[in-house]
Each structure stands twice: as C-alpha cells, then as structure tokens.
C-alpha cells in the first residue's frame, strides 16, 4: 500500500479508446485488468473521462472538407482533428465495462467546452484554463501521482507533463498505457515527459 500522499490517476479508459471504439487505441483494453489490480495499492484513485459535446471543435465532422487526423490551427494553437468520440451520454464515452469505477474518489470530466480541446487532466489545450484537478490534489495533500491509461502520447502525455510542471512527482506505468502513435508522436511524448522528470517504469 502506498502512503496517502500518492494517487493513481487513470486517464480516459473509455469504450471509444478501446477496440471497436470510434478512436480505438491498439490494445486499449489490454491494460484494464492491470489497472484494476493496481488500484488496491492506492488510497486515492482518480479517473478522467473525455466528455465532448456532439459539436465539439476537435471533431473533423465540424470542419467542412476536413478529415480525421488532419491538423488545424485553432486560436490556442495547432489541433489534431479527431473522429467523433466520447460524446456526452453515448456508450463510447462510458468507461470500459470492466474498469473498477467504484474505486474512484473523483471522476474528472474534460473536453466539454465546444471551442477548446482538453488532453490534459489539469489544463485545457490553451494551457491556461484549469480543470480543477490541481486544487483537489493539493487539498488532499497528494504530492505523488502514478499515471496509467489512454493514450500514452496524447492525454496521458499532456497530463504527465502538466503534473510535473506543477511540481508533482510523476511516475508513468508504461505497461499500463497504450499509444495512438501518430507520425512519431509516441517517441516525442516519451522524450518530452522524460525531460520534465517523469519517471518511466516497466517498459
């Protein structure tokens, strides 16, 4: 059992990121059993849930003539266009059916503002709008975060980088994450996280 200062942050283990989902990450569901087992080691378990309105601006469907995985320039910077995914209230937005959601103390939803995407559990993609997670963690006296989930190179990556920048000690369980890997994004993500002091464990 870890001390009470350590939390497990489970990023976006949702149907749309698993096999058969709208934005399926290869082997996405393979991490669920390991995450469930790891929950027993932590007093604090926090889940994130990607939670988009149907007309979210990160969806290629909202941009005339654009296709998924193309890049677009948003007021806050470059943005990948995604297939419609994790639409609020849809089956795809639900957690994987085997994830032990009852162990969660907090479920934090992100990406609900139509005009801005939110990969990170801490800040939206403008890197300024907070989700409130930092305050929650600090109020609970949490200083150490173990991160797992989907996808290694997007939401896990941005969450880990923000957490490290905020001064949390961050450990990434590589074996309990899976990546989208778009044009080398996984290698870049791993380098960026390591440069900020994120510890990588098990692979």
Residues tagged active-site: 12, 110, 155
Cα 62 from Cα 131, distance rounded (Å): 24
154 binds ligand VGL (CB under 6 A): yes
Task: Return the number of the residue (50 or 162) whose C-beta is nearest Zn ion.
Answer: 50
What's the chain's length in residues? Answer: 203
Compare residues 52 and 173 and give the one whose CB is closer to Zn ion.
52
**DSSP classification of residue 24:** P
- Between residue 2 and residue 31, which ones bind ligand VGL under the rule CB under 6 A? 12, 17
- Contact residues toward Zn ion (CB under 5 A) are 50, 111
- In 3-state terms, what secondary structure has residue 107? strand
- Nearest CA to 5 out of 101, 137, 171 is that of 137
Measured in whole angstroms, the distance separating CA 43 from the mean position of its chain's CA atoms is: 20
Minimum CB separation of residue 135 from ligand VGL in Å reads 22
Residues 6 or more apart whose CB falls under 8 angstroms from that of 152 comprise 172, 174, 177, 178, 179, 180, 186, 189, 190
Identify the residue among 151, 176, 177, 193 touching ligand VGL (CB under 6 A).
151
Q: Which stretch binds ligand VGL (CB under 6 A): 29-37, 60-68, 134-142, 149-157?
A: 149-157
Residues forming contacts to ligand VGL in the complex (CB under 6 A) are 12, 17, 50, 82, 119, 150-151, 154-155
């Amino acid at each position: 059992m870890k001390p009470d200062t350590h939390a497990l942050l489970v990023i976006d283990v949702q149907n749309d990121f698993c096999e058969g989902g709208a934005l399926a990450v290869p082997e996405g569901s393979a991490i669920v059993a390991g995450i469930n087992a790891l929950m027993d080691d932590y007093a604090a378990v926090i889940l994130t849930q990607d939670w988009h309105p149907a007309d979210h601006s990160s969806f290629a469907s909202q941009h005339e003539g654009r296709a998924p995985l193309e890049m677009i320039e948003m007021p806050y910077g470059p943005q990948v266009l995604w297939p419609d995914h994790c639409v609020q209230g849809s089956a795809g937005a639900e957690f994987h059916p085997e994830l032990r959601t009852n162990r969660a103390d907090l479920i934090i939803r992100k990406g609900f503002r139509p005009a801005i995407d939110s990969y990170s559990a801490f800040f939206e993609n403008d890197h300024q709008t907070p989700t409130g997670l930092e305050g929650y963690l600090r109020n609970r006296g949490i200083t150490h975060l173990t991160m797992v989930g989907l996808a290694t190179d997007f939401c896990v990556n941005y969450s880990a980088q923000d957490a490290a920048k905020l001064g949390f000690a961050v450990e990434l369980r590589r074996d309990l994450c899976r990546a989208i890997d778009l044009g080398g994004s996984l290698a870049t993500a791993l380098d960026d996280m390591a440069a900020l002091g994120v510890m990588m464990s098990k692979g």
